[in-house]
Amino acid sequence: MAHATATVDVMRPPAPAERGVDVYNLKLGMWVFLASEVMFFTALIGSYIVLRFGASPNPWAQPGKVLSIQITAFNTFLLICSSVSMVKAYASIADGNVKLMKVWLLVTILCGATFVGIQVYEYTHLIHHGFQPSGFREGSELAELAAADPVKYGAATAGLYGSTFFTMTGFHGFHVTCGVISMTYVFIRALRGKYSQQDHRGIEVIGLYWHFVDLVWIILFTIVYLI
């Protein structure tokens, strides 16, 4: 037993615990998680940039040729709206308006779920027209278009384009799906009266995650769809 006591003494911190960044643990934990998420998406987006840069002189498909810009521009708008509704939910509960917070949370969930639905539609549409992770499917509409105009459709780099596109947007869509599921859980807790003006930590923390997912989409939309 004497040995155990000595070990505990050695493990005791040399100074008393500090207040640190002065925020509650849940929020600090979410920020640290988001920092790791930055590196996760850097790996994906960075690989895409390096592969695309390295594919030169073989051209990458020109913007708007393979992917539908109208649908994704609407999805971008939807995600921006959902970020505003999320922050309005937070502002409402911070002001003590529980009813309004529930309305804004519901709007956010609906926007997020619609985003995922549209992305599934986009994937189905793309695969139907012949764009898949391995490139243009042989005999498909896109394969014929690429054969007729290999520069505009990036025929030589279709495989890289397909795999990077589906990996990046797929992982982002997965994050949005996780966000919608988590927010539904938060919404159910809100209906049960778990959040108040004094304690609305869950709302702020799910909001941080949601805004981060919106932020990643802002970058993805520009580099994948517009450039």
Which residues make up the interface to another protein (CB under 8 A)?
20-24, 28, 31-32, 34-36, 38-39, 42-43, 45-46, 49-50, 53-54, 56, 63-64, 69, 73, 76-77, 80-81, 83-84, 86-88, 91, 94-95, 197-201, 207-208, 211-212, 214-215, 218-219, 221-223, 226-227
CA separation, residue 84 to residues 81, 105, 137, 207 (Å):
5, 10, 40, 10
CB of 199 to another protein, least distance (A): 5
Contact in structure between 216 and 172 (CB atoms under 8 Å): yes
Q: Cα(172)–Cα(115) distance, rounded to whole angstroms?
A: 11
Cα–Cα distance for residue pair 87/19, rounded to 1 Å = 27
Q: Which is nearer to another protein, 1 or 39 (by Cβ)?
A: 39
**C-beta closer to another protein: residue 30 or 143:** 30
Question: In whole angstroms, how far apart are CA 181 and each of 65, 72, 206?
Answer: 33, 22, 11
The Cα diameter of the chain in Å comes to 82
Q: Shortest approach of another protein to residue 9 CB, angstroms?
A: 30
Tell me the C-alpha distance between 85 and 89, whole Å. Answer: 6
Minimal distance, residue 34 CB to another protein, in Å: 7
Nearer to another protein, 146 or 214 (CB): 214
Q: Which is nearer to another protein, 48 or 131 (CB)?
A: 48
DSSP H/E element including 113: helix 98-129
**Smallest distance from another protein to CB 87, Å:** 5
Q: How far is the CB of 136 from another protein (least distance, A)?
A: 22
